[in-house]
Amino acid sequence: MTKMELRPLGNTGLKVSAVGFGASPLGSVFGPVAEDDAVATMREAFRLGINFFDTSPYYGGTLSEKMLGKGLKALQVPRSDYIVATKCGRYKEGFDFSAERVRKSIDESLERLQLDYVDILHCHDIEFGSLDQIVSETIPALQKLKQEGKTRFIGITGLPLDIFTYVLDRVPPGTVDVILSYCHYGVNDSTLLDLLPYLKSKGVGVISASPLAMGLLTEQGPPEWHPASRELKSACKAAVTHCKSKGKKITKLALQYSLANKEISSVLVGMSSVSQVEENVAAVTDLESLGMDQETMSEVEAILGPVKNLTWPSGIHQN
């Protein structure tokens, strides 16, 4: 088994696994996940070289953080062997980006994660807050937490790409270390590409999530609440069907598409079973050793051509 590739994350000095462990499913967001399964999944991920774990107090109403904490403890390895990101500002109860809530939030998160510090603390889904508050209040509060050693680095996350330039243009260079973008670097939408030179010039590390477009590029299809247009859903379904008819897995192809760009430090994928971990790691190792199935990829790109980059404008506001 080839070792999982590690990539540098901006100017942080961190080296993150090309595939990152998305822990939202551990909060039983997509269906129930037993604690034993969660721990086994994380153990397998770590064994296969995944060292980067991403969560939020919003996922499963704090359950994801608790599960992740238990899983990390069960690894019984030095704290420096893994990298943990959590978030603040978005909760089951709603949004609160105030300095006071952020301070309370990190203490609660650390307790649930059973950690003394996180490596990255993100402001979560900032398009739902006031971006000026993020700049003038939230990020300064995070800088304070960084000085106190509760987080090593600071990040921002959200769906619309212009939120990143808005914030980064208004804070001193080096204030924000990382951005987490989702649904904008996959086969059906690669608009994050246009932003990469800008992010690089700012010295900001890039993490991309949802390579499967929150279920659009999977055989079971998206959840009921998925915000994509009918046109986008049906094109993705056609692409899935096409791959299936050729005996190919669209999930593997879609993940490889996202992994192929080394400017993106880590691609976060939600995982809640050992078999999912093995499938995701195989996608990376096969990409390194065998390369991508270019023929099927071209066919999928042709099917998705008419709906390329037609992602919905804002994140999902459902509590």
> For each of the chain's 319 residues, which pLDDT tens digit applies?
567 999 999 999 999 999 999 998 887 666 778 889 999 999 999 999 999 999 999 988 898 999 999 999 999 999 999 999 999 999 999 999 999 999 999 999 999 999 999 999 999 999 999 999 999 999 999 999 999 999 999 999 999 999 999 999 999 999 999 999 999 999 999 999 999 999 999 999 999 999 999 999 999 999 888 999 999 999 999 999 999 999 999 999 999 999 999 999 999 999 989 999 999 999 999 998 899 999 999 999 999 999 999 888 777 765 4
Other residues' Cβ atoms within 10 Å of the Cβ of residue 233: 17
Give the H or E element holding residue 278: helix 274-289
Q: Please, what is the Cα angle at 39 between 102 and 265, to 5 degrees?
A: 60
Is residue 277 a contact partner of residue 41, using CB atoms and an 8 Å limit? yes
Q: How far is CA 256 from the centre of its chain?
A: 15
Distance (Å, rounded) from C-alpha 292 to C-alpha 243?
Answer: 14
Residue 84's SS3 state is strand
- Buried b / exposed e along 147-160 (16+ C-beta atoms within 10 A): eeebbbbbbbbbbb
In CATH, which superfamily holds the domain spanning 6-220+254-290? Answer: NADP-dependent oxidoreductase domain (3.20.20.100)
pTM value surpassing 0.85: yes
Other residues' Cβ atoms within 10 Å of the Cβ of residue 241: 12
Number of H helices, E strands in the chain: 11, 12
Distance (Å, rounded) from C-alpha 153 to C-alpha 157?
Answer: 13
Closest CA to 182 of 166, 159, 164: 159
Torsion angle, alpha carbons of 83, 8, 205, 17, to 10: -50
Q: Tokens for 198?
A: 């800008």
Residues designated as active site:
59
